[in-house]
Copies of this chain bind each other. A is one copy, B any other.
Amino acid sequence: MPLPAHMTVGQGQLAIDSGFTVALEGYTEPRLERARDRFFGTLTRETGIPFNVTPQTHPATLVIRTGAASDPVQQLGEDESYHLEVTAKGAQLTAPNPLGILHGLQTFLQLVTVTPKGFVVPAVTIDDKPRFPWRGLMIDSGRHFQPIPVIERNLDGMEAVKMNVFHWHLSEDQGFRIESKTFPLLQEKGSNGLYYTQQQVKDILGYARDRGIRVVPEFDMPCHTTSWFVGYPDLASAPGPFQISDRWGVFDGAMDPTRESTYEFLDKFIGEMTALFPDAYFHVGGDECNGKEWSSSSRIQAWMKAHGVKNNAALQSLFTARVQKIVAAHHKIAEGWDEVLQPDTPRDVVIQSWRGPAGLAAAAKQGNRVLLSNGYYIDLNQPASYHYLTDPLGGDAATLTPEQKALVLGGEATMWSEFTTPEIIDSRIWPRTAAIAERLWSPQDVRDVDSMYARLAVVSDKLVFYGLTHQSYSWPMLQRMSGESDPHALAVLASVVQPPEGYEREDLKEYNTSSPLNHLVDAAHPESDTAREFGNLASLIATGKATPEQWQQARAWLTLWRDNDAKLELTLTNSDLTEELMPLSKNLSQASTIGLQALDDLENHHAADASTVQANLQFLKTAEKPVAVLISKVFPAVEVLVQASGSAH
C-alpha cells in the first residue's frame, strides 16, 4: 500500500534470511547509503533477523541500480518511478534517480511476509510511478506543539507509504513554533517555550530529503496570527497588548494590511524563512479571516475608503497580493488556503482546497494549480473508507477539461492539533493516512474498500516497525485511567467506541489549550475496527448472507460486550477519568443483550414482537447519542439486527 501502478506476480519466492545482502550500483551518493542502512534497520525490525550491514558489491541478494542524481532541491514533479523485479534467486531495483529507489525499497519492505519456510518476498515484477506529484501530510505544530521525535517518526511513516510533501504548519493563535533570528520575540513571547530551533529545522529538512520528502513551511496570515502580536503588537489591526490564545476556535485577530510597516516586517521575516527552507513553495495560509478587527478600526476603515477598498474580502485580497509579491521576490511560489483565490490571483499561486470540492474545481478553472484537502481532514475522525473514496478528480473536478485536470497536483492529509498531543498524534494520522496515500499514488480505478481495509490492517502492523506509536499509545493511557486496576475490561470498551466525527466534540464539552487529553475519547482510535467489522457482520446476518463462522463471531462479540459491564463497573468508579463511562458501558451491555436476542430470533425464524422491537430500537437510538464525548457504531449495527429480527420468518 499504495498499490503499484503495474504489478505481475511471478513463481516462487525470495528467502529473507541472515544471508540477505544489498549492493548499490550505478550512480550513488551518501543519501542512498543511508537509505540502504535504514532499509536494513527496518528489515531487522520486521523480521528480527540481524543482517550483515557492511557494504556489499555485486553479487548481492538485492541489487540497486540508480541512473543519476536527483535535483539538489527536490522538485515538484520529479521522476519518482522505479522498477522492482523479485525472483526466487534475487531482486533488482532500478530507478532513474534516488527518489524511485527510496520508493522501491519501501515496496520491498511491504512485500516481506512470514511463511512456514521463514520470511520471504514473493516473486513479482513491478513498474511503478505516482498518479499525482504532490502527496502531502500537514502537521499543525501550532496548537499543540509536536516535538522533533514526533515529526521524525511521522516522516518515517510518510516514507513508508510514499508521501512526498511534509507541510509544516508553524504558527497559530496558540503558538509561534519556530525560531526567528530576525524577530526573536516571535518565539520568545509567542510561545510557551516550545518551538523548533533553526538547527532542529535544518536537521528535519535533511531527514525529510533523505526520505524523498519536500518540506513546505506554512506561516498562516493575516489571521490565525495572535501569537505574532504578543512580541510585535504593531503588526495587529487592533491595539495591544496581546496574549497567546488559550482557547480553540476562530479569533478576530488579524494583521493590519494598511500599514507599510507590516509588509516591511513580512519581507524581512519571509526573507529569513525562505533562506532556511529550500523548497520552491512557501505557504502563507490565508484562511478564516472574519474581518471583525478591520471593521471595528476607524483607522483601517478610513484607509479603505481613501484607497477605494470596498470590503474586507477585498482588503484581504490586497494583503494577499502584497505577500505573494514578497514571496515571489524571494524566489518562491506562494501557496494558500482557498480563501486566497481571487479573480486576480497570479496563475502560479497554488491553492489548497479545504472548504469543499467546489473550491478545487474553481481554482483549476481559473488556471491555478490546486491541491485537495477537503475530505482528507484526518483530525475529524472520519473512516478510512471516506478518505479513500475522496478523489482529487472526483466530485466537481470530474467535469474539468483535461488541461484543467492537469492543474490538480494531488492532495494533503491535514492533522490539525486541537485534540492531539504528542502521545496521541500517531493514532490520529495512522493508519488512515495510508489510505489517502494510496488514493494519491495508485491508479484512479483502485477503489475497492474491502481490499483497502484488509491491506490497511497489514500496513498498520508494518508501521509499528517504523517506530510509530499508533497502536501502542492506547494501553498506557488505559492503565493511567485505571490506576492500579486491571485495564483489560476498559480495553474491551475502548475497542468499540470512537470520538464523534466532524466538529461535534467541541460542542459536547469545552476544551482549551490546557485541557488534559487523557480520557477514553483520547485513548480510543478515531475509527473502531471492531465496531466496523461488527457492522459488516450485522449486515450480512440481516440479509441472510452470513456464514456460520460469522454468526459465531457476532455472538462471541455480543456476549463479551454484554458481560463486560459487570467486570468494569468497580474499576470505573475508582477514577475520575472513568466514572463518566458508566452509562456508556451499561448501554453497551444492554444493547448486546438486545443483539443476542435478535440473533436468537433470526436463527429460530421467530419474528420478534413488534412492540419489543420498537422499544429496543428506541433504546438504541438513545444509546447512539454521545456519552463522555464518545460514540459507538455498535449501536446502529445492533439496530440492523433488531430491524431484521422484526421481519424474521
Contact = CB atoms under 8 A, between A and B. Distances in A.
Given A464-B476, A476-B464, A47 B115 contact: no
Interface string A567-604: 00000011111010000000000000000000000000
A45 interface: yes
B480 A574 contact: no
A465 interface: yes
A472 B467 CA distance: 12
A516 interface: yes
Interface string A117-141: 1100000000000000000000000
B518 A47 contact: yes
Given A48-B516, A475-B472, A114 B480 contact: yes
Nearest to A487: B461
A193 interface: yes
B193 A53 contact: yes
A484 B576 contact: no
Contacts of A477: 48
A391 interface: no
A465 B18 CA distance: 34
Contacts of A423: 45, 48
A349 to B, nearest CB: 37
A114 B47 contact: no
A49 interface: yes
A256 interface: no
Interface string A595-615: 000000000000000000000
A18 B461 contact: no
B117 A576 contact: yes
A479 B464 contact: yes
B116 A575 contact: yes
A249 interface: no
Interface string A503-523: 000000000011011100010
Interface residues of A, number: 48
A115 B514 contact: no
A300 B366 CA distance: 90
Contacts of A192: 52-54
Contacts of A117: 576
Interface in A162-218: 192-193
Given A423-B48, A479-B461, A576 B114 contact: yes
A50 interface: yes
Contacts of A465: 476, 480
A481 interface: yes
A457 B116 CA distance: 37
A468 to B, nearest CB: 11
A46 interface: yes
Contacts of A47: 480, 516, 518
Contacts of A483: 113-115
A84 B574 CA distance: 26
A475 to B, nearest CB: 7
Given A476-B464, A476-B465, A49 B516 contact: yes
A52 B516 CA distance: 12
A458 interface: yes
A50 B144 CA distance: 10
Contacts of A579: 116
A230 to B, nearest CB: 14
A511 to B, nearest CB: 12
A518 B579 CA distance: 41
B458 A574 contact: no
A461 B475 CA distance: 10
Interface in A423-464: 423, 457-458, 461, 464
A243 to B, nearest CB: 13
A48 B518 contact: yes
A116 B573 contact: yes
Nearest to A577: B114
B113 A518 contact: no
Given A18-B516, A192-B54, A472-B472, A480 B116 contact: no
A307 to B, nearest CB: 43
A484 B116 CA distance: 13
Given A192-B53, A575-B114, A517 B479 contact: no
A574 B516 contact: no
Contacts of A472: 472, 475
Contacts of A573: 116
Contacts of A471: 475
A176 B193 CA distance: 41
A457 B486 CA distance: 11
A576 B518 contact: no
Nearest to A18: B514
Contacts of A516: 18, 47-50
A509 to B, nearest CB: 15
A401 B471 CA distance: 56
Contacts of A479: 461, 464
Interface in A469-508: 471-472, 475-477, 479-484
10 contacts: A48-B423, A49-B516, A50-B513, A53-B193, A54-B192, A114-B480, A114-B482, A116-B574, A461-B479, A464-B476
Cβ-closest 7 pairs across A and B = A48-B518, A114-B483, A49-B516, A114-B575, A48-B516, A118-B576, A472-B472
Interface of A: 18, 45-50, 52-54, 113-118, 192-193, 421, 423, 457-458, 461, 464-465, 471-472, 475-477, 479-484, 513-514, 516-518, 522, 573-577, 579
